[in-house]
Amino acid sequence: MPLIEGNVTLCMGPAQLAVGPGESPAPDDLEAAIVDFIDGARRTLDVAVQELESEPIARALIAARARGVTVRVVLEEDYLHVGGQAIADPWMPGGRNEANRTVHAALLRGGLHVRSDYNGAIFHQKFIVRDLDGDRAALLTGSTNFTPTGTHANLNHLVVIGGKRVAGEYAAEFEEIWDGTFGVARMRHDPAPRELTVSGVPVKILFAPDHAPEMEIMKQMAKARTRIDFAIFTFARSSGIDDMMLMVHRAGVALTGIFDRGQGNQGWSASRILAAAGSGTNRPRVFLADRGAGLGKLHHKLMVIDGRVVIGGSFNYTDPANRLNDENIVILGDLDETDPAKVAVHQRVAGYALSEIDRMIAVHGSPVTG
């Protein structure tokens, strides 16, 4: 079951992933959560996602349009291309990304407004804004692409926040995207990130490249006093975040994290420099997620600080993500809060994410040696 704290919901998945005897799966059905969110729309849906291949999600969007909802969709253009050599007969179905093109055509036939990006880097967003001007206004974001793999095989998360204030922040970003101002080609700049509170949970939202989320993540990490836990798909050496991790570790902060095996085994990955830090029992605990038993990728972009703050969204810990890609991060919680009742709310939200990181390490993790 998802963690629900008033108007803030946190989902970890995929629940369908096969596990071994005595092992627990991730708790939530991510595809169902996205479909349910879409089904709740009465007026508008603005969808910004790197890849849309899931037929149930596409059908939910088409059904929304059929009941009178205005639906706008922006997709990463690369996933609509055949790639490499053109196929012999372009009039026949086939070639790389054919499932994406099939969904794309269905959306157009269903009367949806669909555009692809013009970002020379990566349009990496994963969010939906629902009914901004209605009483069902809400935002859905996270690490999950809207694909069968993303929702059923890869380890991912979703954040759903109700209300107009957070939805409005993402709606403004969507309007920029819809107008064609992508990545470093933006012709205007976002205002400074605002700090909002929803159901007692502090919420801070940043968009790349304008807000340079890497710096905000490093600022949050600098406040850590006891521990930093993370699950990250792509985490590059010298991203800045790895240097901050080493710094806070030297100050006595415990580090525990799990990488996707395919990305974490690369020479540019931060996995081994983190694993080699310190000595003896003072070393960080660093793991790679073993693929198998139905697991595709560990695709999270997830950090928990001191068991009180969650950082999620679409942002991988790399320089291109910070400077070139279209990305977002959402920060839940506040390490400066001292009121015990408010701290307890932050801990409940962060504890849900932390328990999933612990589960992934226990079920899928193999230790990295420095």
pLDDT of residue 112: 94
Eight-class DSSP state of 242: H
Above pLDDT 90, what percent of the chain? 72
Whether 286 and 271 have beta carbons less than 8 Å apart is answered as yes
Minimal CA–CA distance to 271: which of 261, 224, 248? 261
Comparing 76 with 58, the larger pLDDT belongs to: 58
Whether 189 and 264 have beta carbons less than 8 Å apart is answered as no
158 Cβ neighbours under 8 A, 6+ residues apart: 9, 10, 11, 13, 28, 30, 33, 34, 140, 141, 142, 144
What is the SS3 assignment for 188? coil
pLDDT of residue 78: 77
Of 9-23, 204-218, 229-243, 274-288, minimum mean pLDDT range:
9-23
**Residue 86 pLDDT greater than 80, yes or no:** no
Tokens of 36: 């349910």
Q: Does the predicted TM-score (pTM) go above 0.85?
A: yes
Domains annotated for the chain, with CATH where assigned, are 3-367 (3.30.870.10)
pLDDT of residue 209: 86
**Residue 267 pLDDT greater than 70, yes or no:** yes
Tokens of 313: 């969204």
pLDDT tens for residues 27-39?
999 999 999 999 9
- Distance from C-alpha of 202 to C-alpha of 291, rounded to nearest angstrom: 35
Across all residues in the chain, what is the average pLDDT?
91
Tokens of 171: 């709606």
**Dihedral sign, Cα of residue 300, residue 314, residue 135, residue 178:** negative
Residue 319, number of CB atoms within 10 A of its CB: 12
65 Cβ neighbours under 8 A, 6+ residues apart: 71, 110, 111, 112
Confidence of residue 1 (pLDDT cuts 50, 70, 90): confident
Comparing 93 with 134, the larger pLDDT belongs to: 134
140 Cβ neighbours under 8 A, 6+ residues apart: 33, 34, 37, 127, 128, 130, 158, 159, 160
Which amino acid is present at 135?
D
- Distance from C-alpha of 278 to C-alpha of 252, rounded to nearest angstrom: 10
Whether 198 and 9 have beta carbons less than 8 Å apart is answered as no
**Residue 332 pLDDT greater than 90, yes or no:** yes
Rounded to the nearest 5°, which phi and psi values hold at 147?
-135, 160
Taking each helix axis from N to C terminus, what angle separates 55-66 and 98-109, rounded to the nearest 10 degrees? 10
What is the SS3 assignment for 88? coil
pLDDT of residue 255: 97
Minimal CA–CA distance to 8: which of 242, 165, 172? 165
- Distances, alpha carbon 271 to alpha carbons 53, 275, 332, in Å: 31, 6, 25
pLDDT tens for residues 176-233?
889 877 555 554 566 788 899 999 999 999 998 888 899 999 999 999 999 999 999 9
